Amino acid sequence: MASAASRRCILRSLHLFFRRPWSVLTGKLDQNYMSSFTSAYAIMNDEHGDPRKVLSGRNITLSAKLKDDEVLVKMLMAPINPADINMIEGTYHIMPKLPAIGGNEGVGEVLEVGPAVKCLSPGDWVIPADPGWGTWRTHAVAPFRELQKIDNKIPVLSAATIAVNPCTAYRMLKDFVHLKPGDAVIQNSANSAVGQNVIQIARQWKIKTINIIRDRPDKDSLVKYLKDLGATHVVTEEFTRLPEMRDLIKTLETPPKLALNGVGGKSATELIRHIGQKGVMVTYGGMAKQPVTIPIGALIFKEVSAVGFWNSKWNAENKNNPAKEKMLEELCEMIKDCKLMPPKSDLLPLTKYQEAVASAMEGYKGQKKVFVMDDNMVLFP
């Protein structure tokens, strides 16, 4: 019998399919529709600063006629990720020119293509090829090179959130250490969107995960949720400092070869303490805003190494690498098989951007804030 999670996944997929516009299902498009999209609603900032203060929702003009290489896209969904907030604050490593449209990640549906565009057709779904593209908008006209086609048979929420966190998790599990079935990975912020993807992808590859979370009143339900996703062990930050943690590590065939650090500070130091000889710690985030400290003994005697990973850089350097296509295909297959679920999400219309951004900045509350561009799009039964 199908599990509750897979029943939910099937229902969502069916529902999303039948909710798709008639034009896409039939392949027929109204020849005059272009005139109705000469403007779009976008969430923008003219200056860097507190996103609660510098963002505003406004109508922007789109060119009425597409250039040869351009595509008209109707945005469907776009999440709010920590990097989006940092980009608006002006603290991120790369920043688009101002005035800028918010949002790095999201999915849109192609409505029309210019005559020179051969790789995209109306009805295709696309995600931005580069960071800083500005996904918090209803429509966009853009050169096709700025967009990457994505399978439109996956749920729209999965498509909107595939580019950053699932890809980051996939690359970190693949590119730093050779992991074989039975090997173990240890990670902090295991309940984050990245962490949940690590758990699910590792399960597919038969890799064990030791998952560290911060203590909380509803810890038991979070532990159950992560174990349902495929977590092998879930422990709190406090537990990692107890002798029992060493006992837990001893139950593994070999100590973790890879540690994934999204927090920094003391939490990262604990990760290093629990990886094995020549283990590698990959830092991808710094949610605690504290530097990483590595004990000297770990460097000299355990020969551990500490490196960083940045998904945007990987994408920029691998635009035409078949490995990127392969990764997206593999992730989409996992999604279709209901083996890779998007994080729990709170869906809001773009017009509620102030509430959404303020809430995202208060910290992760177990739900990603995700903008839905079409108010009529009913997503879950």
Catalytically active residues, by annotation: 92
42 binds ligand NAP (CB under 6 A): no
> How many Cβ atoms sit within 10 Å of the Cβ of residue 208?
22
269 binds ligand NAP (CB under 6 A): no
310 binds ligand NAP (CB under 6 A): yes
- Greatest Cα pair distance, the chain, in angstroms, is 70
Comparing CB distances to ligand NAP, the nearer of 114 and 286 is 286
Task: Pick from 15, 48, 174, 214 the residue near ligand NAP by CB under 6 A.
Answer: 214
80 binds ligand NAP (CB under 6 A): no
191 binds ligand NAP (CB under 6 A): yes
Task: Pick from 285, 335, 340, 342 the residue near ligand NAP by CB under 6 A.
Answer: 285
Stretch that binds ligand NAP, among 17-25, 35-43, 154-162, 187-195 (CB under 6 A): 187-195
Name the pairing type of β-strands 258-261 and 280-283: parallel
Task: Pick from 73, 75, 82, 199 the residue near ligand NAP by CB under 6 A.
Answer: 82
Cα within 13 Å of Cα(263), Cβ side: 23
Stretch that binds ligand NAP, among 44-52, 303-311, 322-330, 350-358 (CB under 6 A): 303-311
Comparing CB distances to ligand NAP, the nearer of 67 and 344 is 344
315 binds ligand NAP (CB under 6 A): no
Give, in degrees to the nearest 5, the angle at Cα 69 between 93 and 26.
Answer: 105
DSSP state for residue 37 in the 8-state scheme: G
Name the pairing type of β-strands 368-372 and 345-349: parallel
Least separation, in Å, of the C-beta of 15 and ligand NAP? 25
281 binds ligand NAP (CB under 6 A): no
Whole-angstrom distance, CA of residue 79 vs CA of residue 85: 11
Kindly state the number of chain residues that form the binding site for ligand NAP, as judged by CB under 6 A. 24
Give the residue carrying structure tokens 């790789």: 119
DSSP state for residue 147 in the 8-state scheme: E
Comparing CB distances to ligand NAP, the nearer of 154 and 260 is 260
Stretch that binds ligand NAP, among 8-16, 76-84, 139-147, 175-183 (CB under 6 A): 76-84
Structure tokens at 255: 């100590």
Using CB atoms within 10 Å of the CB of residue 23, give its burial: 0 to 12 exposed, 13 to 18 middle, 19+ buried. middle
209 binds ligand NAP (CB under 6 A): no
Whole-angstrom distance, CA of residue 78 vs CA of residue 320: 24
Whether a cis peptide bond, with omega within 30° of 0, leads into 99 is yes
> How many Cβ atoms sit within 10 Å of the Cβ of residue 20?
15
Whole-angstrom distance, CA of residue 207 vs CA of residue 185: 7
Task: Pick from 157, 193, 260, 304 the residue near ligand NAP by CB under 6 A.
Answer: 193
Comparing CB distances to ligand NAP, the nearer of 81 and 152 is 81
Q: Using CB under 6 A, which residues numbered 146 to 165 contact ligand NAP?
A: 164-165
Cα within 13 Å of Cα(150), Cβ side: 28
288 binds ligand NAP (CB under 6 A): yes
239 binds ligand NAP (CB under 6 A): no
Task: Pick from 261, 269, 311, 345 the residue near ligand NAP by CB under 6 A.
Answer: 311
Comparing CB distances to ligand NAP, the nearer of 66 and 164 is 164
From the list 178, 167, 228, 234, the residue with the least C-alpha distance to 201 is 167
- Within 142-295, where are the H helices? 156-160, 165-175, 193-204, 219-229, 243-250, 265-274
- Helix 193-204 and helix 322-336, axial crossing angle in degrees, nearest 10: 90
Q: Are 40 and 137 in contact (CB under 8 A)?
A: yes
Comparing CB distances to ligand NAP, the nearer of 195 and 255 is 195
135 binds ligand NAP (CB under 6 A): no
DSSP state for residue 343 in the 8-state scheme: P
338 binds ligand NAP (CB under 6 A): no
Chain residue at closest Cβ approach to ligand NAP:
285
Task: Pick from 13, 168, 200, 232 the residue near ligand NAP by CB under 6 A.
Answer: 168
The residues binding ligand NAP (CB under 6 A) are 81-83, 164-165, 168, 189, 191-194, 214, 262-263, 284-288, 309-311, 363-364
